[in-house]
Amino acid sequence: MPQVKYLQCMKCNKTFEATPNSYTCPDCGMVGILDVIYDYSAISREVNKDILQKNKDFSMWRYLPWLPVLPETVPPLRVGWTPVYKADQLAEVLGIKTLYIKDDGLNPTASLKDRASAVAVAKALEAGADTIACSSTGNAASSLAGNAASVGLKTCIFVPERAPQGKVAQLLIFGATVVSVQGSYEEAFKLSMEAIERWGWYNRNAAINPYLVEGKKTVSMELCEQLNWDVPDWLVFSVGDGCTIAGAWKGMVDLYETGFIDHLPKMLGVQAEGCCPITTAFRNNEPVRPAEENTIADSIAVGVPRNPDKALRAIRQSSGTMINVSDQEILDAMKLLGSTIGVFGEPAGVAGLAGLRKAVSEEVITSNEKVAVVVTGNGLKDVQNAIKATGEPIRIPSDMNRLVEELSTRGL
Ligand SMILES: *Cc1c(COP(=O)(O)O)cnc(C)c1O
Ligand SMILES: [Zn+2]
């Protein structure tokens, strides 16, 4: 792959050959997260705006020149090219002029994680593996299981017992071996790492595998292309492990370095109040310390984030910031998003919107700035929390008088 130079450790800066089985830095261990370093002039020789515009592959693979993936290993599910909506009514409610909502819940397994899992499957094929494993709060797992099924690879998945039923159902349908671990995500993670070591499976754990962030970067590249290279002032993402926001930032840097855009956005990272180790580390300018996992937004309930370095780099380099939201603010955002533009997000999927709302009210983001929020996961994965956001329907017998009564008390 001429576009990839090497892998570089975020801690000690040493470089390593980019083999498909490379995980963390051999010298630094688990904290030595590796970064894929590209030869930008090689990419620029390969692709430009005209070539991209003529490309009829409407999936994340239209950005293959920027990805560490061999064309022959690309899996078949259509990941990416999710819609972007200009959300005028919602923008007005929030008090800003321009708002775009990108619905990444419309990926094949209904979350942004498909972008990372598709790359994991490609790398597992390149490595000649027959089984891929990961621990996950839910979406990394279901996306891995779906993408692996599409090429006939086996999966062994470790989820914490709190994972919502919709996500567990996806895993089982995609044929994964599912281990529901009694305990937190951190405990599921530890067990998965031991099992991967013991059986030599391909490792799709967030941040441990340096290629996952590269898949996630296609979300922001795509957003920019869909906005005709008009870069928003702010990109907003919810944050758990930190790979998503780190990936989105890398996508912007890669576009900038290859001459596709002429400036960079600021990144707003949003965590749940009940689990916000990265926000705390950012605000206090200190290393990340383990936190409790106390929020309904299960996909971002990550007490020991695995990729704080890349996430914090994204926030700092972009002159962005981190913000926390309460579970109630998340539920309110879910209802607001659904009722103003018809997009249904899961709690972690709409936490970004809740964070934007707060950032506008605190004047961190001003009314004339252009903002894009990515909805990272579909609400049908977790209907229990959705009903919590809305309340129950009107329940009556089949009786017209009762209907008239009920509707009139609601002013309809
Ligand atoms: C995983 C996930 C996130 C956060 O991504 P991280 O890489 O863990 O920061 C946000 N929203 C949803 C729906 C997710 O599944
Ligand atoms: Zn190192």
For 119-134, what is the mean pLDDT?
A: 96
Residue range 171-177: mean pLDDT, rounded: 96
Q: Are 293 and 287 in contact (CB under 8 A)?
A: no
Pocket test for ligand 1, best of 237, 299, 304 (most atoms within 8 A of CB): 299
Flag whether pLDDT at 214 surpasses 90: yes
The pLDDT of residue 185:
84
Ligand 1: centre distance to CA 183 (Å): 19
Q: Give residue 137's pLDDT.
A: 74
Q: What is the DSSP code (8-state) at residue 76?
A: S
Atom of ligand 1 nearest to the CA of 346: 13
Count, residues in the chain: 412
- Residue 163 confidence (pLDDT) above 90: no
Q: What percent of the chain has pLDDT over 70?
A: 100
The residue with tokens 């590269």 is 214
Q: What is the pLDDT of residue 352?
A: 98
Q: Which atom of ligand 1 is nearest to the CA of 349?
A: 13
226-274 tens-digit pLDDT? 999 999 999 999 999 999 999 999 999 999 999 999 999 999 999 999 9
Residue closest by Cα to atom 7 of ligand 1:
243
Mean pLDDT of 356-365: 98
Q: What's the rounded mean pLDDT across residues 48-62? A: 97
C-alpha–C-alpha distance, residues 37 and 54, integer Å: 27
Threshold 0.85, pTM exceeds: yes
Confidence band for 176, pLDDT divided at 50, 70 and 90: very high
Report the candidate in 175, 116, 109 with the shortest Cα–Cα distance to residue 142. 109
Average pLDDT in the 63-88 region?
Answer: 98
CA-to-CA separations, 107 to 28, 44, 46, 111, 186, in angstroms, rounded: 35, 28, 27, 6, 26
Q: What is the pLDDT of residue 78?
A: 98
Q: What pLDDT score was predicted for residue 358?
A: 98
Q: Per-residue confidence at 138, pLDDT binned at 50, 70, 90?
A: confident
| Distance of CA 184 from the midpoint of ligand 1 (Å) | 16
Q: What is the pLDDT of residues 181-197, one digit of tens each?
A: 998 888 998 999 999 99
Classified as helix, coil or strand, 152 is: coil
Which ligand has an atom closest to residue 353 CA?
A: 1
Would you place residue 6 in the very low, low, confident or very high pLDDT band (cuts 50, 70, 90)? very high
- The CA 323 to ligand 1 mean position distance, Å, reads 15
Ligand positioned closest to the Cα atom of 114: 1
Which ligand gives the minimal distance to the CA of 12?
2
Give the distance (Å) from ligand 1 centre to CA of residue 238: 6
Residues with CB under 6 A from ligand 1: 111, 113, 139, 206, 238-244, 299-300, 302, 346, 348-349, 376-377
Among 376, 380, 381, 382, which is best to mutate for testing ligand 1, by the most ligand atoms less than 8 A from CB? 376
241 Cα nearest atom in ligand 1: 8
Query: Which is higher by pLDDT, 345 or 392?
Result: 345
Q: CATH number of the domain at 84-110+212-390, please?
A: 3.40.50.1100
Q: What band does 128 get if pLDDT is binned at 50, 70 and 90?
A: very high
pLDDT given at position 231: 98
Pocket-testing residue among 244, 279, 310, ligand 1, by greatest number of atoms within 8 A of Cβ:
244
DSSP notation for 319-387: T-EEEEE-HHHHHHHHHHHHHHH---B-HHHHHHHHHHHHHHHTTSS-TTSEEEEEE-BBGGG-HHHHH
What's residue 1's pLDDT? 86
The rounded distance, in Å, linking the Cα atoms of 389 and 384 is: 9
Q: Which pLDDT score, from 0 to 100, does residue 68 have? A: 98
Distance CA 10, CA 210 (A): 11
Which ligand has an atom closest to residue 312 CA? 1
For residue 162, the model assigns a pLDDT of 85
Q: What is the mean pLDDT of the chain?
A: 96
Count Cβ atoms within 10 A of the Cβ of residue 352 and give its class: 0-12 exposed, 13-18 middle, 19 or more buried. buried
Average pLDDT over residues 14-23: 95
Give percent of the chain above pLDDT 90. 91
**Ligand 2: centre distance to CA 213 (Å):** 18
307 band by pLDDT with thresholds 50, 70 and 90:
confident
> What is the domain partition of the chain in residue ranges?
84-110+212-390
Is the pLDDT assigned to residue 155 strictly greater than 90?
yes
**pLDDT beyond 90 at 337:** yes
- Say which residues have a Cβ less than 8 Å from residue 382's Cβ, sequence separation at least 6: 164, 166, 167, 298, 346, 347
